[in-house]
Chain A
Amino acid sequence: MAFLLKGARVVDPQLNLDAVLDVRIDGETISEVAATVKPQEGDTVIDAKGKVLTPGLVDMHVHFRDPGFEYKETIETGSRAAVHGGFTDVATMPNTNPVTDNGPAVRFQIDRGNEVGLIHVRPMGALTKGSKGQELAEIGNMVDEGASAFSDDGHGVQSAGMMRTVMEYVSQFDRVVAAHCEIESISAGGVVNEGRASTRLGMFGWPALGEELEISRDIDLCRLTGCPLHICHISTGRGAELVRAAKKEGLPVTAEVCPHHLFLSEDDITDTYNTNLKMNPPLRTAEDALALQAAVADGTVDCIVTDHAPHAAHEKDCEWEISYFGCIGLETSLPLMVTNMVRTNKLSYTGLVRAMAVNPRRILRLEPVKIAAGYKADLTLFDPEKKVQITTEYFESKSKNSAFIGAELYGVATDVFVDGKRVLANEVVVPGGEK
């Protein structure tokens, strides 16, 4: 099966490329990239004029809930959501049930992803058994089975001594430790940002300090152990500042941020208690959101992730304090970034591709995907001018707990190629690829 994409704006910072070109895909790989490529017999020709073609987008922080919480999401429905949002790869967090803390559990997710036939599922393994922060998990075995990184996401490793052990151990494997930074004795019971929101809403605050103190600690442990450290879902300006300083020092530290922390703030939580805005870490101040946008623009923050956290309706249609943390994000991430960062000239397409494709692949130690002959055809084609109204019907995800329902956004993925298969064709998800 061969495809010829005619006249797309091809953006690939790895090749210093931003030009209108034709791209031919033959089998699993890109066969030709040139100003004009002539169709061969049997080629499916796709008119890509006005659209942007990039290396396949990667979301390195999602929760697919499979196994254990299949009523919220499965590897199949999560993969559909990923493709619909323009992604070719996702890294799934290990807080499944049972926890993904061993080789066979990692292998299960990869195999299940392949059976579904849409995207590359790149599981992260747990750092500690059961993500309890007590004993090392079999990290070597998980590396052998294909784990892309390691994290106890959902909780920080509370003991500094245990975190040191974990980072020393992982340092032998060329994998990052992805740290959810939260000192639980400080965040204790907090459900909104401490400050204006906690006062106004009469709820316990989860202060910025609870996150920043652990970022500091983990950066110091990175310096000590040499283990590459990736800071998950940074939510404060000060957090980004700590990462900026660590990078300046030359430490192997990277960081990610979620669209909801970039484009929403505690002020958006009104007296209607929309529980889809309950996040961990919580929505911070409007100043934090602006500082994070700047950190994305200057490269301090390496990548955009969604922390895609599906929850069933009944887990959100309840009192704020007992509702679950998190929102889905895979299907709104690209449009939010296009609308709020690229169209506002805060970020170039080159910067967008770095943050959503190039950097996450590097952090997950995946093979680079470049838009050049011979490379794996994992590609995303999106229409930056196409407008979409986000409604619950828009989602392929099994859960509908989006923080952006009602938003009008620009930038819709129209086609996604994974291993040369067209798994999203004109916005329609096609498991196994178009026949």
Chain B
Amino acid sequence: MLSVKHLIDTNSLTRDDIQQILDTAQSFEAVNNRDIKKVPALRGRTIVNLFLEPSTRTRSSFELAEKRLSADALNMGGSTSSVVKGESLADTIQTIDAMNVDMFICRARLAGTPQKITEHTDAVVINAGDGKHQHPTQAMLDLYTIRKNFGHLDGLKVAIVGDLSHSRVVGSLVPALKTMGAEVVLVGPPTFHVDDPSWFGCYQTSHFDEVIGDVDVVYMLRVQLERMEGAPIPSRREYNRLWGLDERRSKLMKPEAIICHPGPMNRGMEINSEVADCARSRILDQVNAGVLTRMAAMYLLLGGDSDGISA
């Protein structure tokens, strides 16, 4: 059992919660590696995928996770949703809630939307990314990937690099890493710095080369080109020179250090192809871990036991 009813942010997760999610995800590896990738764990449960903002990878990851747990899924959002037609969030949620569903998976442009949903339904809510606030299942898949690589999280050093201020990845990954005993440094242009790094308990710098040799994980963020206001960087070229991960810079990394990226990548901007596809890259492992950790989160939040998976 997790200590939370919903998965809204990672700040409220205990070390034990995170451990349970990661361990449960690990137990699902066997399911995902079989020919018949399905267990009846959530048979008869109804899950609503409410995607109020475009999403491809997160959405398909959740949908696959639901299918592999045998849940019934209802997809809503995009241009078909009533929120687009001007219906309020409260009305939308109450309407769906009246159809008796068990869980909402919510992706939203506005921070706090998943929390607001909990006020209008008794169903469990998983935040699939809200504005630039949090994206907790992304943090879980990142932790899973890193733990799988090193065997532990305690004592690791992680540099998160790039568009910090627009990133919901930062919002949920940093607290989760800290809870698990890792150390985090934030790197990016001053115009992309978070307003108050002390809230995260992190050192924040603009100088990538000064920290890259010290860390076990180089986590490159996607520059959110669609969220740029006030032209905070002069050009792709300059960004790539100062904060991009290219071959030269990757040689400064510790020999055993790995590279992560939440995707989708802007190749040639924050990461160059020769690095994205190199042996250190764990980017596709992250995608794989996404299905596992989402299966785990849904399973545990709908009442599953962390050591009860035998199917």
Partners in one complex: yes
Q: Tell me if B195 and A188 are in contact (CB < 8 A).
A: no
Shortest beta-carbon distance from A193 to chain B in Å: 9
- Give chain B's interface residues, CB within 8 Å of chain A: 8-9, 11-12, 88-90, 108, 110-113, 115-116, 130-134, 168, 171, 194-200, 229-230
Give CA–CA (A205, B194) in the complex, Å: 10
Interface code A343-373, partner B: CB below 8 Å = 1, 0 otherwise?
0000000000000000000000000000000
A188/B108 contact (C-beta < 8 A), A195-B196, A196-B196, A271-B8 known: no
- Given A318-B89, A321-B110: 8 more A-B contacts, CB < 8 Å: A188-B229, A189-B229, A195-B195, A199-B199, A199-B200, A273-B116, A318-B90, A318-B116
Shortest beta-carbon distance from A277 to chain B in Å: 12
Select from chain A the residue with minimum beta-carbon distance to B196: A199
Q: Tell me if A319 and B133 are in contact (CB < 8 A).
A: no
Interface code A318-332, partner B: CB below 8 Å = 1, 0 otherwise?
111110000000000
Q: Tell me if B194 and A271 are in contact (CB < 8 A).
A: no
**Is A203 at the interface (CB under 8 A from chain B)?**
yes
Q: Tell me if B111 and A202 are in contact (CB < 8 A).
A: yes
**Is A198 at the interface (CB under 8 A from chain B)?**
yes
Give CA–CA (A200, B175) in the complex, Å: 11
Which residues of chain A have C-beta atoms less than 8 A from B111's C-beta? 201-203, 319-321
A203/B133 contact (C-beta < 8 A), A314-B88, A317-B88 known: yes
Which residues of chain B have C-beta atoms less than 8 A from A195's C-beta? 195-196
Q: Tell me if B113 and A319 are in contact (CB < 8 A).
A: yes
**Is A272 at the interface (CB under 8 A from chain B)?**
yes
Give CA–CA (A205, B132) in the complex, Å: 12
Give CA–CA (A318, B87) in the complex, Å: 11
Which residues of chain A have C-beta atoms less than 8 A from B196's C-beta? 195-196, 198-200
**Is A194 at the interface (CB under 8 A from chain B)?**
yes
Give CA–CA (A203, B165) in the complex, Å: 9
Contact of B131 among A188, A200, A202 (CB under 8 A): A202
Q: Tell me if B195 and A318 are in contact (CB < 8 A).
A: no
Q: Tell me if B88 and A318 are in contact (CB < 8 A).
A: yes
Shortest beta-carbon distance from A177 to chain B in Å: 29
Q: Tell me if B195 and A319 are in contact (CB < 8 A).
A: no
Q: Tell me if A319 and B110 are in contact (CB < 8 A).
A: yes
Shortest beta-carbon distance from A311 to chain B in Å: 14
A273/B112 contact (C-beta < 8 A), A188-B230, A199-B194 known: yes
Contact of A203 among B8, B12, B132 (CB under 8 A): B132
Which residues of chain B have C-beta atoms less than 8 A from A194's C-beta? 195
B-contacting residues, A153-207, CB 8 Å? 188-189, 194-196, 198-203, 205
Select from chain B the residue with minimum beta-carbon distance to A185: B230
Which residues of chain B have C-beta atoms less than 8 A from A317's C-beta? 88, 90
A203/B194 contact (C-beta < 8 A), A189-B229, A317-B88, A319-B112 known: no
Q: Tell me if B90 and A202 are in contact (CB < 8 A).
A: no
A322/B195 contact (C-beta < 8 A), A202-B130, A203-B133 known: no
A272/B132 contact (C-beta < 8 A), A199-B194, A199-B195, A199-B199 known: no
Give CA–CA (A203, B111) in the complex, Å: 7
Which residues of chain B have C-beta atoms less than 8 A from A189's C-beta? 229
Which residues of chain B have C-beta atoms less than 8 A from A319's C-beta? 89, 108, 110-113, 116
19 contacts between A and B (CB under 8 A): A188-B230, A194-B195, A195-B195, A196-B196, A196-B198, A196-B199, A199-B197, A199-B199, A199-B200, A200-B196, A200-B199, A202-B134, A202-B171, A203-B132, A271-B11, A271-B112, A272-B115, A319-B111, A321-B111
Shortest beta-carbon distance from A172 to chain B in Å: 39
A201/B112 contact (C-beta < 8 A), A188-B229, A271-B8, A321-B131 known: yes
Give CA–CA (A79, B198) in the complex, Å: 46
Q: Tell me if B110 and A320 are in contact (CB < 8 A).
A: yes
Which residues of chain B have C-beta atoms less than 8 A from A196's C-beta? 195-196, 198-199
Which residues of chain B have C-beta atoms less than 8 A from A272's C-beta? 115
Give CA–CA (A318, B276) in the complex, Å: 40
Which residues of chain A have C-beta atoms less than 8 A from B195's C-beta? 194-196, 198-199, 205
Select from chain B the residue with minimum beta-carbon distance to A270: B115
Give CA–CA (A189, B111) in the complex, Å: 13
Select from chain B the residue with minimum beta-carbon distance to A207: B195
Select from chain B the residue with minimum beta-carbon distance to A315: B88
Q: Tell me if A320 and B199 are in contact (CB < 8 A).
A: no
Which residues of chain B have C-beta atoms less than 8 A from A198's C-beta? 195-196
Give CA–CA (A92, B111) in the complex, Å: 33
Give CA–CA (A80, B14) in the complex, Å: 50
Q: Tell me if A322 and B230 are in contact (CB < 8 A).
A: no
Give CA–CA (A189, B131) in the complex, Å: 13
Give CA–CA (A273, B89) in the complex, Å: 14
Which residues of chain A have C-beta atoms less than 8 A from B199's C-beta? 196, 199-200
Which residues of chain B have C-beta atoms less than 8 A from A320's C-beta? 110-112
Shortest beta-carbon distance from B19 to chain A in Å: 23
Select from chain A the residue with minimum beta-carbon distance to B91: A314
